[in-house]
Amino acid sequence: MSRFFDTKIDYLKGVGERTGNLLREELSIHTFGDLIQHYPFRHEDRSQFHKIEDIREDMPYVQVIGHIRKAEIIGAGPKKRLVAVFVDDTGELELVWFKGIQWLSGKLKPQIDYVAFGKPSRFGQKFNMAHPEMELLASIDRENGQLFPVYHTTEKLKRGRIDSRTIARLQKRLLEKAYEHIPETLPASLIERYRLMPKRDALRNIHFPESINCLEKATFRLKFEELFYVQLRLLTLKLARIDKYPGQVFGDTKLVHEFYESHLPFELTNAQKRVIKEIYADLHSGKQMNRLLQGDVGSGKTIVAFICMLIAISSGTQVALMAPTEILAEQHYRNLTPFANAIGLEIALLTGSTGKRGRRIIDEMLQMGTLPILVGTHALLEDRVQFKNLGLSVVDEQHRFGVAQRAKLWHKNAGSEYPHVLVMTATPIPRTLAMTLYGDLDVSVIDELPKGRKPIKTLHRFENKRLHVFGFLKEQIQAGRQVYIVYPLIEESEKLDLKHLEDGYESIRRAFPDVPVSCVHGRMSGSDKDYEMHLFAQGKTKIMVATTVIEVGVDVPNATVMVVENADRFGLAQLHQLRGRVGRGGEQSYCILMTDYKLSKDSKVRLETLVRTTNGFEIAETDLKLRGPGNIEGTQQSGVLDLLVADLSKDGKILQEARLSAAEILQDDPDLVSLEHAPIRQHIDKVQKNTFNWSRIS
């Protein structure tokens, strides 16, 4: 926007120093531009009027045309109030004010038509309205339509007599002055293609819509623009990275063929094959790969990663696989060792518990280039870990690692070349979020489970069915299966946590006196945890009682039942992860969600969703709707989700179009130099100089 919008807010008529300070402190509104972007969060439909006899107590806000028959101040002290009898030709209504009494009583005139606007509540047979807004019927401005903007304010603003109406008044004044200064910020081609409302009309209509239709068009236009610029930025970052980091070219696939033909224990799913092809194309392209691999729990990401590792190793480079916990790193190591050995490859494990001697050997082999595969935890990120020629880094369960750690993996090479990076996550992220959160990455999705998996049966049971549930567990254990029983982890109170778990453990020992039970919780040392996990994995214990430490990645195919205690205390994504611990073998598996009777509305939706579907993406969409984009696991630090008008849980379609448009524009004109793209360039220059901190995205 032009210089006009940099004008200090104090220079708007009606804004003095006091108001200016309040707007700055409370709403971060410093300039004209900030004010105009303080959009209303809803509009009141002021086209509807109600008759007094039609008022019902479940109505949210209503407006009534009538006049004041009588007004008096009654009571004293804090109970002192102004009560007016408001009538129309169908009945009467009491209006009550506790504040601003003197001022109002001087102002309200009898026998003149007013519009009273407020929330009705019932008092015996009569209705009343506390603190209604009063406007003279004659003064109502019909010119600007009947949709009236409602703005966020704060208590402090209200105390300073700046309420939503005051802000509306300021907006109106500003828009009158601003209209001709509002530049178009999108190129004509996009405006035409999507029939977008011009910027200046959009700004006017988002505040004071001429009609519902205009409001919708204005909102669409502003959402589109917002998402377009976020995507443009992400794609620019991606292009810059691709330019900056040429990738090592891996064309040789001999190890892949050898493994595929002689040692692959099962047929890959079509989704696995497709993803491997996508990754191979990256590894072959001469550009550095940064790819996110999304796949529901149990979809078989590990084998995909292994095959891609073989592509890198075939070309004589080394590979690293990093997992978020020791248990998971060990599990990967255990699972991959037979595969690696079968084709004669060395593989090593590096974690915090690796002894000095072991470390020395690993360090040496890495630097000599004689260790092709290294699996490990965060320990891999330490500076002393240096590869001779790292070709591919795989990061499992991405949301546990920060973006900074991801970047660290790039700098592990003695040589000048950067490794390709593959990030795997089992937390399905709705497409819209992924496009924004990982907009600078390429995304592959395994959207198919291996054949022969029986879908897990999910049940919700209340406490009164506990004996039944225990009886069922006994049957399963007698049939040779194993069972998880998980207790919630309460972060604020580790003690209470442990108490739940210990009580649970005791009651399970009593209920299953002859059954060996393992127990794992966050307070145990790593080696104790591992010991218990191993007992369970080897089938020596039949029940695993645990807090959510088993949430991610643990693979015990013989376990067929997951019981989640206090299931309402878990988030949807977490429950879905937990459920994914079973159903990994050929047997029918079950997930039993135990709760008390008392459940919040959201908890009910969560439990019903899990019972209804095992599709991780569907679950993620529901989660997004319930919690909003800012609360989805893995999104917290990102800041990319601070959007003004767009809502990633609803605006997926607009986002897709915006991203597509941004990609097309960058493809034709990567530096945005053409005349046609001048509005984009100007807008970016302006925004970069000003408030918006692009760097928070990368």
Residue ranges that bind ligand ADP, judged by CB under 6 A: 266, 268-269, 272, 295, 297-303, 426, 450, 555, 557, 584
| Residue closer to ligand ADP (CB basis): 328 or 610 | 328
CB of residue 301 vs ligand ADP: minimum separation in angstroms? 4
Residue 591 touches which member of ligand ADP, Mg ion, none, C-beta under 5-8 Å by kind: none
Asked if 548 contacts 486 with a C-beta cutoff of 8 angstroms, the reply is yes
Q: Which of residues 448-477 bind Mg ion (CB under 5 A)?
A: none
| Residue closer to Mg ion (CB basis): 204 or 400 | 400
Residue 614 touches which member of Mg ion, ligand ADP, none, C-beta under 5-8 Å by kind: none
Binding mask 499-538 for Mg ion (x = CB under 5 A): ----------------------------------------
Using CB under 5 A as the binding rule, whether residue 295 contacts Mg ion is answered as: no
Distance from C-alpha of 450 to C-alpha of 172, rounded to nearest angstrom: 60
| Residue closer to ligand ADP (CB basis): 198 or 450 | 450
Helix or strand (DSSP H, E) at 332: helix 326-342
| Residue closer to ligand ADP (CB basis): 255 or 552 | 552
**Which residue's C-beta sits nearest to ligand ADP?**
300
Strands 390-396 and 420-425: parallel
Measured distance between the N- and C-terminal CA atoms of the chain, rounded to whole angstroms: 25
Instruction: Using the rule CB under 5 A, give the single segment among 18-26, 204-212, 409-417, 551-559 that binds Mg ion.
Output: 551-559
Q: Tell me, what DSSP letter sits at residue 161?
A: T
- Residue entry with tokens 């990368």: 698
| Residue closer to ligand ADP (CB basis): 182 or 554 | 554
| Residue closer to ligand ADP (CB basis): 401 or 418 | 401
Q: Kindly report the length of the chain.
A: 698
Q: Which residues contact 695 (CB under 8 A, 6 or more apart)?
A: none
CB of residue 557 vs ligand ADP: minimum separation in angstroms? 6
**Residue 431 backbone dihedrals phi, psi, to 5 degrees:** -50, -45
Asked if 581 contacts 536 with a C-beta cutoff of 8 angstroms, the reply is no
Residue 303 touches which member of ligand ADP, Mg ion, none, C-beta under 5-8 Å by kind: ligand ADP
Using CB under 5 A as the binding rule, whether residue 298 contacts Mg ion is answered as: no
| Residue closer to ligand ADP (CB basis): 190 or 323 | 323
Neighbour-count burial of 111, counting CB atoms closer than 10 A to its CB (0-12 exposed, 13-18 middle, 19+ buried): exposed
Residue 299 touches which member of Mg ion, ligand ADP, none, C-beta under 5-8 Å by kind: ligand ADP
| Residue closer to Mg ion (CB basis): 235 or 446 | 446
CB of residue 405 vs Mg ion: minimum separation in angstroms? 18
Residue 300 touches which member of ligand ADP, Mg ion, none, C-beta under 5-8 Å by kind: ligand ADP
Using CB under 5 A as the binding rule, whether residue 553 contacts Mg ion is answered as: yes
Distance from C-alpha of 467 to C-alpha of 469, rounded to nearest angstrom: 5
Q: Indicate the Cα dihedral angle 83, 85, 86, 87, nearest 10°.
A: 170
Q: Which residues contact 398 (CB under 8 A, 6 or more apart)?
A: 292, 406, 423, 424, 425, 427, 634
Q: Where are the beta strands (DSSP E) in 287-419?
A: 290-295, 318-322, 347-350, 373-376, 390-396
**Residue 449 backbone dihedrals phi, psi, to 5 degrees:** -95, 155
The site that binds Mg ion (CB under 5 A) totals a number of residues, namely: 1
Distance from C-alpha of 483 to C-alpha of 472, rounded to nearest angstrom: 11
Apex CA 338: angle with CA 333 and CA 343, to 5°?
115
CB of residue 329 vs ligand ADP: minimum separation in angstroms? 13
**Residue 604 backbone dihedrals phi, psi, to 5 degrees:** -60, -45
| Residue closer to Mg ion (CB basis): 553 or 652 | 553
CB of residue 269 vs ligand ADP: minimum separation in angstroms? 5
CA-closest candidate to residue 8, choices 202, 174, 172: 174
CB of residue 29 vs ligand ADP: minimum separation in angstroms? 48
Residue 365 touches which member of Mg ion, ligand ADP, none, C-beta under 5-8 Å by kind: none
Instruction: Using the rule CB under 5 A, give the single segment among 167-175, 288-296, 546-554, 593-601 that binds Mg ion.
Output: 546-554
Catalog residues that contact Mg ion under the rule CB under 5 A.
553
